[in-house]
Amino acid sequence: MEKEKSLEKQKVDETEDHVSELTMPVWSVIGFNHRFASGLTYEEATAELRELSKGEYSGLCIVTDQAAARMRSKSVL
């Protein structure tokens, strides 16, 4: 019984951590050669991605700002 409670608490803690990461402004929208936006919450990043995908941009994705910073090309911010 105690082990079950411990596993349940661990699942709750992991879920809370996951949700808090999504609400932190640490997300970027990037394309093949450019960073289009950074410092966004995940919800803001998905909205930005939807807007950009209406244009002629391809290869768009959402990554962390840390990963986007490793891109070799310049940001278009």
Q: pLDDT for 7-42, tens place per residue? A: 565 555 566 566 689 999 999 999 988 899 999 999
| Amino acid at site 55 | G
Show the tokens assigned to 49.
């991605």
Mean pLDDT of 42-56: 95
Q: Tell me: the pLDDT tens digits for 64-74?
A: 999 999 886 55
- Which amino acid makes up residue 74? K
**CA atoms of 71 and 18, how far apart (whole Å):** 25
d(CA 49, CA 28) in angstroms, rounded, equals: 9
User: 18 Cβ partners below 8 Å, 6+ apart?
Assistant: none
Contact 45, 29 (CB under 8 A): yes
The DSSP letter of residue 24 is S
